[in-house]
Structure 1
């Protein structure tokens, strides 16, 4: 974890920002709960457990800054809630998600499935792609299995 915090600190410094204690507390929560796709409120509640002096507005500002600097990706799975996802180390693109419409689970796909699509967009439309996001909405394997068991 310390290696990733140091890398994030360098990313901030490269853009003339500091990793303040409040920002570090927020980053640590995101690293500790990386698989959870936390909302700003979720992050705030977890930060507050360790550092009660940090306010909700500070957490919001930190998440927005980290999003602008591409340390985290701000995502929405169609439920009206913005969630924050740390960008994987060395990632040039946002990763993809599978969202279950039954149980709400979210799985990540780390492979870049859209390289060919990007090439077509750039060639046919003359549009320089900087990033992309892909979210599949459907029914996860677990919910499908439960549905089969219930109908038998």
Structure 2
């Protein structure tokens, strides 16, 4: 029982320490899914969202252009791979600007807005830099988990 408690405590704290803190002014927009998978965070002008994307887990497929093409088809604009194995892309869907980063695990993180201004560029850089900072520290980069109220 003691080992089970220790395991659960470590699992919970690892996820808690990986939860990102959004820039000042961003608030939760709760989605329909109780796990928070479809939650958004917005300040009224810009929105952060996350997308679980299917990705085969063999490393040689990640280096292949197949996954990059899959992601580009999903979002509707081209993606590029960084030296540290992130995929990023930016484009316009309808009248909404989008900046997306996909990590090696296949999790997509998107910033979108109707405005393509200096603040959009600032929040895009914040997303990329924060993601890299968490990876460098060995932390998971995940949106805060929502605990459903009974």
TM-score strictly above 0.5: no
TM-score tier after normalising by the smaller chain length: under 0.3
More strand by share: 2
Larger Rg: 1
Q: TM-score, normalised by structure 2?
A: 0.26
Higher relative CO (CA 8 A, sep ≥ 6), structure 1 or 2?
2
